[in-house]
A and B are shown apart, each in its own frame.
Chain A
């Protein structure tokens, strides 16, 4: 098979950016920043080229390529995208320049290392979504931990070291059993190339369960699925703004993507057996995340816990085993990236001005920063799932998918999750009221500068997608549908849409 040139180019672009930044003497800070923005923006533009090939009706993999890497161990350098991963790749390439742009005035120390790590991180993230070889996937998966660890640990908040090492060890420990499962699969399947494994390998149900759990542990920690979420609040809160945007926007999706890409196709029977359990944990996460979110006084922590809640929806959608549910889940992955990424951006803007994130310290901000207030409102409403905006489409389709799902087996999953929708409105509106509305009684808040051009530029793309996905989601569903259908066809005896 051919060498995956186009996808390698997409991977190589941020790597080239990294190389240039690494070689630039550290005093040329402005140049470094421009290089970082330039390369990540170029990566985004080039990645749009992935849409050039129409997605095949049978949901096949596009831009596929497989090159020999370590033939004696049956390891190949195989890349490809399909309807499941293309949106996530585009999300990654979209959020990276936005995150880099948002750090412009934020990061003043060790600028060179910061942007170098951001570029490395982008390579790792894209690699996770396009890898079709298990070994390659594992390498990219683990590799993203290193830059993220340093980003949190060096440029983070007061408890950054604790948060960074907790994030690192927690995630690494989770993935280590996945390594074992990958080895088992590769050896028994005779190859590490995913499509061949899916097509040819039949695994007895007992082994399937164990392998499913091994993979699921790694992914569940990443998502994070309750109760494996305790690394998340620390990591999100202590990370610098751009770090939180990337962490919430992309890294968490790696976990949910893993479930769709690996657990469901490779271990179909075990997945269906575990569906109600995972669904149950998801629902607990939805409610727990929302509940704890409401109790927070630190805005960033509030948003962090909201991620647990939102991704519970995604997990519910995936394990509903319905086409509409899984499509909704993937769309919601993108939506969460956009809205929570946006939330972290606006929290970051506020923090840059006031150096505090306590809800009590604000109030009446909208009066002083009108444009900022308007943009924040749209993003908050999107996260809440207001009809007409992106969040609603995702949540609605997920709930539709889980409603009659035979795998989940009970309407209570849907009913309790709908509670989560209401609770999301509660904590987000509460947050909005405390920060933006109400009397402007704190002196420090009276002289805050409104958003500048650069900050607006970071938010505009998000707003575009918030409205686009919310009002005209069909084009996105068309992208996903063939691949999701193909995925479900491989899972025996699938029920309704």
Chain B
């Protein structure tokens, strides 16, 4: 094992995440001196930090990266287009997360500067996850991602459901991390390395103990499937999403999911392509179950946060379809791009939907039933229109981003179904469950426009700006997806070094 030198550590390559980490520490300290009535300064400080990180990311993307993935920290991190695309998604989610929390936290009486620091740190965890080139980094970044989220879930402290959600998330998450670590250990046992590049060589070549490594992969998948809320590891999702403060839920549903998928994509596609036939079938079955369970159980929900939680499970299923399609090496590039693109469209759409939930939610945390949206069409037409756009995008209805995202995923799946007939069944089920999902998404639209109600909703400027941006993004990506999709296609998944 070579000793790390300054060159192999390559700090320049990881400048974005380093900037954010540094800024997070800065905010943590500064927050001590910010008076309790002016905690929004912490928020704006965070926004500044995120902006700075985004600039550094952009510079890196344009100047240093084209075509040449770089490796950092002695080969434990790889900075390629894939990582950059995902980091952009994470920063966007974090930015909107701050905007959503700005007025929500004081309204609920839970305004604390720690919210923003935790948000920053969990984002850094996600960013590390996207760059992971070593299983240990996968584990570390998963923990760095999750632990602040556990705390954030319990942020609405006096309320029991918030504390319950934090407890549940923490216990189940810790358990899942345990599976992950054990899996990593078994892979190490089976291949004598934890570096993904080493694993890929070992699996396709001469692994000392291949079955052990494969069992290890299975356990790793358990841990990661928990994170993305795939069936049957999804039980935590509805309760945690419902109990956590809504901005946290919004951020979690998008960021943690993207982070989890980043890891799954890297581990499966880049490290274990040799046994892609096996894990392809496994992921296809998980996708099937996830889409079915997520969509069907969402129908009976009356609370919008719970409904969006099950919808989140369902959408994880659709992304898993893309992952299953990536098992076919010929289709893998297109499938990975489809998954990335879907994550982006899901980010826009879901953040927007949750922004509306925040607007309708009352100060004491109630007001999250679907019926609370009644009359919104008349009382607040712009907000209702935005929510309608988000609901249609979640269904996958043209001309929204959700439709294009689903299209690419299904296209990848059908292309791959030449080698895996299971994928054809999965695609058909995916399309049919999309119709089923129309039922509960349209219900929100029906309630907004066709039921009489107070239609109380309050949107302060930061939230309104975020919602508008998300709505425009959803429509724009639906009509002109090509530039962004091309970016996703250039985000090649390589293991450096």
Contact = CB atoms under 8 A, between A and B. Distances in A.
B486 interface: yes
Which of A68, A73, A135, A142: most chain B Cβ within 10 A? A73
Contacts of A140: 398
A71 to B, nearest CB: 7
A51 interface: no
Chain B CB count within 10 A is highest, among A69, A135, A179, for: A179
Contacts of A184: 414
A143 B396 CA distance: 11
Interface in A127-158: 135, 138-140, 142-143, 145-146, 150, 153-154
Nearest to B443: A165
Given A161-B450, A169-B439, A72 B489 contact: yes
Interface stretch (B63-71, B116-124, B180-188, B403-411): B403-411
Interface string B414-456: 1100000000000110011011001100100010011000000
A139 B449 contact: no
A173 interface: yes
Interface of A: 68-73, 110, 113, 135, 138-140, 142-143, 145-146, 150, 153-154, 161, 165, 168-169, 172-173, 176-177, 179-180, 183-184, 186-187
B241 interface: no
Contacts of A72: 334, 337, 482, 485-486, 489
Contacts of A161: 446, 450
Nearest to A71: B482
Contacts of B399: 139, 143
A426 B254 CA distance: 62
Contacts of A135: 407
A47 to B, nearest CB: 22
B485 A177 contact: no
Contacts of B334: 72
A73 B408 contact: yes
B392 interface: yes
Most chain B C-beta atoms within 10 Å of own C-beta, residue among A72, A135, A138, A176: A72
B398 A143 contact: yes
Nearest to B488: A72
B155 interface: no
Interface of B: 334, 337, 378, 381, 392, 397-399, 403-404, 407-408, 410-411, 414-415, 427-428, 431-432, 434-435, 438-439, 442, 446, 449-450, 481-482, 485-486, 489
Contacts of B446: 153, 161, 165
Contact of B411 (A165, A169, A183): A183
A177 B481 CA distance: 23
B286 to A, nearest CB: 21
Contacts of A73: 407-408, 411, 485
A172 B438 CA distance: 9
B435 A172 contact: yes
A109 to B, nearest CB: 10
B432 A176 contact: yes
Nearest to B377: A154
Q: Which of A135, A168, A187 has the most CB of B within 10 A?
A: A187
Given A113-B381, A176-B431, 7 more contacts: A143-B398, A153-B446, A154-B450, A161-B446, A173-B435, A183-B407, A183-B410
A187 B409 CA distance: 13
A345 B376 CA distance: 32
A153 to B, nearest CB: 6
A466 B450 CA distance: 39
Contacts of B489: 72
A154 B485 CA distance: 37
Contacts of B432: 176
B409 to A, nearest CB: 10
A177 B450 CA distance: 29
B410 to A, nearest CB: 6
Nearest to B478: A139
A319 to B, nearest CB: 27
A146 B397 contact: yes
Given A146-B392, A187-B411, A187-B414, A169 B438 contact: yes
A69 B481 CA distance: 8
